[in-house]
Structure 1
Amino acid sequence: MANDGYLPLVLAMVRTGILTYGGGSAIIPLMRHEAVNRYAWVTDDEYGEIVAVANALPGPIATKLAAYLGYRLKGWPGAVVGVVANILPTCVAMLLLFGVLSAIRESRVAQGMIAAVNPVIAVMMGVMAYEFGEKAWKGLGRWFAIAFGALAFVLLMVLDVSPALVVLLYIVYGAFHLRLVHRVQRAKRRDRGAST
């Protein structure tokens, strides 16, 4: 793990806590930038697994990601520092700016600024979804990726299954799939060793 001390953790969590707008899903790509690109605490694949598990657990995704990354870097004290650094600046800002927000709530300028941020969040989520889809395409193969994407769409949009249950289902399948892949690879190695 790069970057000793708590300062990088605090800076990453403060940045994601302050700059995130649009709910829990908006923090996922920002936290990914900090953890994968800026500090290289985890790989892209590891981050995808962390997000999947965090989505399956109850509670806000931001605090779960902050707690996990803090714990991974510095143990339990790091988890506490990560969560506090992620939520404290926003809590203070909310208290300080509550009166201002009440005064400008009806302002067309403020409403326009808020509306301008929504497409940016949509693009960030779209880019991240594309990158995860591309990895699924390469890792599982074209037909499996299409089938699993279609199945997720049907479960979430048509049957209205809870996202947590869908993520849990895919985690269970992923564990089975990895075990099957390892078994096939071992068998291929044994066959190659026997044929030589």
Structure 2
Amino acid sequence: MVYWNLFLGFFRIGLLGYGGGPTMIPLVHAEAVQKYQWMTDDEFTDVLAMGNALPGPIATKMAGYIGYKVKGYLGAFIAIAAMVIPVLVGMILLLGLIYKLKDSGIVGGMTHGIQPVIGVMMAVMAYDFFKKAWQSWVKSKTLAWTLISIIALVLLNLNPGLLIGIALAYAFTESTYLANKKKRNQQQRDADRGFSA
């Protein structure tokens, strides 16, 4: 049953994920977190961050990871195949039709009509991520990284992958420092207890 759910969930994403890549992320969240509860919001955020930091299409990386987490290698294969099949079949069947209609108002109207919906889906997800970061992390750091992101992405037109890599390196460095500091403090307390005994 789990294999079938993996196939159905990612098949729906592949079928409805108009625009590919980043536009599929809210659909992946809806299936993996909300519907099937294969992972928590925090796990999804981590997977999204790592997927963005690695090269290649984000949707298939997430499908592979989630499938592997749920049912190992076969789960990863099923999730990736289910996501790719609708796109592949659609491209093969519709390529000729789309090519004939590329200059018509029908295709342009469809494209313009779906863009606001995708924009709202992305905005809702971005708000949810910001809210979670605001609640779970130091608020000044959340504001600082939000400002850094806006400046880097909007004003400096920095590659998002590079920015994510920088943020991951910072988070790794800070968490390693804090973990080592905590360990040293614990060792010092243990040594003080041993000395006083």
Please point out which of 123, 135, 139 is paired with 1:142: 139
Identify the residue that residue 83 of structure 2 maps to in structure 1.
Answer: 86
Please point out which of 5, 8, 21 is paired with 1:8: 5
Task: Give, in angstroms, the shift of residue 185 of structure 1.
Answer: 11
Correspondence list, 1:1-196, <5 A: 4-179=1-176, 180=178
Identity in percent: 40
The change in CA–CA distance for 1:161 and 1:104 in structure 2 (over 3 A counts) is closer
For the aligned residues, what is the CA RMSD?
Answer: 2.3
Structure 2 contact 13–83 (Cα < 8 Å) conserved: yes
The alignment's TM-score, normalised by the length of structure 2, stands at: 0.85
The one-character-per-residue Cα deviations of 1:69-106 (angstroms, maximum 9, x if unpaired) are 11111111211111111101210111111222223323
CA distance in 2, matches of 1:146, 1:164: 20
CA distance in 2, matches of 1:41, 1:65: 12
Structure 2: runs of 5+ lacking an equivalent: none
The change in CA–CA distance for 1:117 and 1:6 in structure 2 (over 3 A counts) is same
Task: Give, in angstroms, the shift of residue 157 of structure 1.
Answer: 2.7
The change in CA–CA distance for 1:186 and 1:120 in structure 2 (over 3 A counts) is farther
The alignment's TM-score, normalised by the length of structure 1, stands at: 0.86
- Structure showing greater radius of gyration is 2
Paired residue type of 2:31? E
Structure 1 contact 29–125 (Cα < 8 Å) conserved: yes
Task: Give, in angstroms, the shift of residue 181 of structure 1.
Answer: 7.3
* Deviates further, 158-167 or 76-85: 158-167
Structure 1 contact 22–118 (Cα < 8 Å) conserved: no
Structure 1: runs of 5+ lacking an equivalent: none
CA distance in 1, matches of 2:5, 2:180: 37
